[in-house]
Amino acid sequence: MSNAVEQLQTQLSQIKKGLFMMGPDRVRAMSTHETEDLIVELQAVTDQALAELATLKGE
């Protein structure tokens, strides 16, 4: 598997884990501060994944 595909898989896994931590099936409720930090982190991961995808598409 290419490094780019592995990187995208890792990023998507991070996003999935973060969404789970904020979702209804979470183990504990997160504080507002923790939630805001996680949202900022997930936004950065998403931006990185989209940039990686753009390079794969040749944009």
pLDDT at 19 > cutoff 60? yes
How does residue 59 score in pLDDT terms, banded at 50, 70 and 90? low
| CA 46 – CA 12 distance, rounded (Å) | 8
**Contacts of 16-23 spanning 24+ positions with Cβ under 8 A:** 18/42, 18/45
pLDDT, residue 2, reads 81
49 phi and psi angles, rounded to 5 deg:
-65, -40
pLDDT, residue 7, reads 94
CA angle 44-19-6, nearest 5°?
60
Mean pLDDT of 21-41: 94
pTM across the whole model: 0.85
The answer to whether 21 touches 38, Cβ cutoff 8 Å, is: yes
